[in-house]
Amino acid sequence: MTPFTFKRLNRTSRAVVIVMCVYAGLIALVILFDAAWWLVGLLSLPTLPALWDIAQGTQAGLTLDRDVIRWFSGKREAEVVLADIDHVRLDTRWDFSVRTSLVLTTGKRIRLPDEATPPHKTFETALQQAGLRVERHHFTVF
């Protein structure tokens, strides 16, 4: 099996454009509608994690080879030996995103960070090539 590698950079032109558009909208609120500064400040708070990722140039990714699966996100990283994995669970959420969980032979469930997870169709193929059983669950509530 050839190793499967996925890497995502958080400093993308798309992220920069989105943050710039949000700030342009907030500035427009102040200029055109004379919005209160404290309100604009509160509305800008959700953009701080994105600004941090852009400024730091953080990365996230995953590597799957014949013995182990490794993932990283920012400064966090982990790995699991494939022999310890009973199956991989792919849950489709109500917003159509897919959450990936590794279910170990002990019954413990490890959820992979969303930012480190590759597109689900390619990832599912790579998991099956590695000999792992993949379970799909669509639109589960819990």
Q: What is the per-residue pLDDT across 48-104, written as a single tens digit (0 to 9) for each?
A: 999 998 999 889 999 999 999 999 998 899 999 999 999 999 999 998 999 999 999
Would you say 31 and 91 are in contact if contact means Cβ atoms under 8 Å apart? Answer: no
Q: Look up the pTM and report it.
A: 0.78
Query: Residue 45: pLDDT band by 50, 70, 90 thresholds?
Result: very high
Between CA 112 and CA 114 the distance in angstroms is: 6
- Note whether 73 and 115 are within 8 A (CB): yes
| pLDDT single digits (tens) 3-13 | 999 999 988 89
Please give the average per-residue pLDDT across 21-32, as a whole number: 97
Range 31-41 average pLDDT: 96
Average pLDDT over residues 20-26: 97
Mean pLDDT of the 22-30 span: 97
Burial 42-61 (b: 16+ CB within 10 A, else e): eeeeeeeeeeebbeeebbbb
pLDDT for 135 equals 96
- Give the pLDDT band of residue 142 (cuts 50, 70, 90): low
pLDDT, position 75: 87
